Structure 1
């Protein structure tokens, strides 16, 4: 028997965790104001509300639909596996948070194990959707490769929890964990989504289709280097991986910009959010070799903190602002109509305001500024202002997201559809 609900349950959980993320960011503000004592691991909990809580829930919710849409469309989605994924992911994630805040490696490790079970089940779902013919134009490989990096990221997390490290030690495992989850897993998914959705949104063909292969291999090989380098303490792997990743990202942005110009559209807030997101993804690149090779000559710790903030609040949060409400509306349609519904969902949903665009990017500018010695005297004030601006934009986004999740009238689903597809 299939369960039928109006809204994709993964996206409902993504919306819930985005609300919790706003509350956690507000808690960070109260701490910066001196109104409360420091809360255990508040920064990392806030980050995980965005990563596993928001983005990973969304990826689990819609990735099979994207894979089905860009392949031959003849394979059916096994909904029993989808509910197993939802249950394991949402039982495991709270255990990770509890284990992090309580300092219990066993609790966090149990939660990570359950997330790994959900991920293996997702692999099975994606494998069953593999194309019988090549209609994906090369984009399907992005979606099928991406979860492999999340597996690596979870294994690196196990290493941190139980003291099992490579030559790079604890911090090598931490960097491998972040790089695998963000630059590998989410980076490939986002690239595949942009290359799939953008031509449909703009009603033009992809400007440079041959660049898709450069983007795929640049991101994939680059992410491998960024994971292996810190774990093995081999700087040449890290720097080489970074160079490959920049190559792949540049090819992606050339395609995004070229396709947008081909449409002759005027600039809109969603497009600027995407550009802003990739600005903060790439902003650490010039500093990375200095941090790796000359850590005593630069404020390495402050730069690494700012870089992680940029990946989460600058890159991921802006992409969520640009597309998550749209995806939530389109996901109310049957799987076969999902991607085709995205342009209409864009028209139906409210566009992000220019105030949000300015607020989140100015906030990130302030947070990055705190990494450099000339502003050390006002670093606390800049941190406070940065978190305030980001939290304000985040709160408006959460209102828009929940309006998309529960406030839209859509065509009823076909009788054989499940929201977890």
Structure 2
């Protein structure tokens, strides 16, 4: 009989995703005129998904994923893992408080504590994974982009910038965290878990290095270009990034078609997510080179919304419930194998989720264009409402998975196995 346990990182991910849903409800109330505008509500909502949901989940699952792919015989240090959890969940609320109150000191203190948690996570990953495996390289490199993203955030808070100034620091911060850190980890996780869910082998393993180098080198250009105010470096990074992403998408579709076990809704969420990741690509040259001829500001807002609500949220919908259920069954077994065994035990995402989140995101993107101004408020309200529907169904599915994975276990075993 398999042991069950609750991963405290995953519990916090669920709490922040639930609070993020409430923040979306607040956004809807503001847009509909029911309440006054709340300070920095949009950025708070975004960070509920990024650091609050995705980063908590990734902190929780990374050691198990690296071990499943090809870890060493060294066990995870349970004490270090608890310190990671304590530091991450002490620092992150300070960041949120600092953002909401415009307190630089509080935000800097929170970011410093989170940086400490990240340092401990990097040590854990390097201790429990070996060199040489193509997918492990993703996990070993990815956290360093988050380090760069946090350092860029320090620059924004302390008014210390490179040649690109404040807005260059913002772009470097977003690109490092999303296009670097999260994208590398998501790519490796998709390439690991999709074959398990579809009960088949990865269709094009030779493309794994192509995706790694494309995303890694592309993200370097996307971070360095804005910070240095060198558009040619940004454009080169974007072109290389697209090559890596195409390799990933070819593997996703090829793996699905080589399988006899169809999960079209999860595939729809994954492909829908990557649609909103790449959708800003054709607009990027216009924003960089001709900012006066296109609505650069609204396009950048729509692009960030797409990365968070279109890409991250859909990938969380596709994988987080099933991985949560699998991780609760036993840390003594291979996590990827357990994902295969429990996939049939969990309710699949619904077409309502797939449709509402993507139509909602399309509505938010439309508001970026001046010709839509007469109905922009209606589109914004409708877009967030549709995203909220998908988000609510996802949160319900997540908590059910966590409940089904729960059981008694000694506290020292919760995150140290």
Counterpart secondary structure, 1:252: helix
Aligned twin of 1:148:
144
Residue 203 of structure 1 is matched in structure 2 by: 199
- Map of 2:339 onto structure 1: 342
Give the direction of change, closer, same or farther, for the CA distance of 1:100–1:414 in structure 2 (3 Å limit). Answer: closer
C-alpha displacement at 1:267, in angstroms?
Answer: 5.4
Paired residues, what number? Answer: 414
2:355 match: 358
Does 1:400 find its partner at 2:397? Answer: yes
For the structure 1 residues 190 and 335, does the alpha-carbon distance in structure 2 shift closer, same or farther, using more than 3 Å as the test?
A: farther
Distance change (3 Å), C-alpha of 1:253 and 1:354: same
- 2:286 is the counterpart of 1:290: yes
Give the corresponding residue for 2:8: 9
Cross-structure match for 2:70: 71
Mean Cα displacement is larger for which, 191-200 or 155-164?
191-200
- 1:28 counterpart = 2:17: no
5+ residue gaps in structure 2?
Answer: none
C-alpha change, 1:420 and 1:388, in structure 2 (3 Å) is farther
Match of 1:139, SS state, is helix
Residue in structure 1 matching 2:174, options 178, 182, 185: 178
Residue 382 (structure 2) pairs with residue 375 (structure 1): no
**8 Å CA contact 2:273, 2:312 repeated in 1:** yes
Asked if the contact 2:193–2:336 (Cα under 8 Å) also holds between the matched residues in 1, the reply is yes
Shift of 1:72: 4.1
Aligned to 2:53: 54
**Does the alignment pair 1:127 with 2:123?**
no
Matched-pair contact (CA < 8 Å) for 2:310–2:357? yes
Over the aligned positions, Cα root-mean-square deviation in angstroms equals: 1.7
Q: Using the alignment, how far apart are the partners of 1:207 and 1:103 within structure 2?
A: 49
- List 4+ stretches of structure 1 deviating above 4 A: 412-417
1:250 aligns with 2:249: no
Partners of 2:413 and 2:35 lie apart in 1 by: 48
Counterpart CA distance in 1 for 2:149 and 2:243 is: 23
Q: Is the 8 Å Cα contact of residues 143 and 192 (structure 1) preserved in structure 2?
A: yes
**1:221 aligned residue:** 217
Could you state the TM-score of these two structures normalised by the residue count of structure 1? 0.95
Secondary structure of the 1:359 match is helix
Structure 1 residue 73 displacement after superposition: 4.2
For residues 256 and 276 of structure 1, the distance between their equivalents in structure 2, rounded to whole angstroms, comes to 12
Q: Secondary structure of 1:286's match?
A: helix
Instruction: Write the distance in 1 (CA, Å) between the matches of 2:395 and 2:14.
Output: 7
CA distance in 1, matches of 2:272, 2:368: 19
Q: Is 2:6–2:405's contact at 8 Å kept on the other side of the alignment?
A: no
Q: Is the 8 A contact 2:310 2:361 kept in 1?
A: yes
What is the TM-score when the length of structure 2 is the normalising length? 0.96
Deviations 1:15-50 (A, max 9, x none): 000000000000000000011111010000000000
Distance 1:414 1:251, change over 3 A: farther
What is the aligned partner in structure 1 of residue 323 from structure 2?
Answer: 327
The answer (yes or no) to whether the contact 1:5–1:419 under 8 Å persists in 2 is no
Distance across 1 between alignment mates of 2:102 and 2:220: 30
Indicate the larger mover: 368-377 or 289-298. 368-377
Aligned-pair CA distance for 1:200: 1.9
Contact kept, 8 Å, 2:171 with 2:227, in 1: the verdict is yes
Structure 2 Cα separation of the partners of residues 16 and 140 of structure 1: 29
Tell me the SS of whatever aligns to 2:177: helix
CA distance in 1 between partners of 2:400 and 2:262 (Å):
26
1:89 maps to 88
Distance change in 2, residues 1:340/1:265 (3 Å): closer
Do the aligned residues in 2 keep the contact of 1:173 with 1:230 (CA within 8 Å)?
yes
Query: What is the alpha-carbon distance in structure 2 between the residues aligned to residue 129 and residue 341 of structure 1?
Result: 19
Distance 2:34 2:412 in 1: 53
Quote the Cα distance in structure 2 between the aligned partners of 1:397 and 1:386: 17
Judged with a 3 Å threshold, the aligned counterparts in structure 2 of structure 1 residues 408 and 117 are, in CA distance, closer, same or farther, namely closer
SS in 2 for 1:404: helix
Deviation, structure 1 residue 352: 0.7
How far did residue 129 of structure 1 move? Answer: 1.3
Partners of 1:335 and 1:417 within 8 A in 2: no
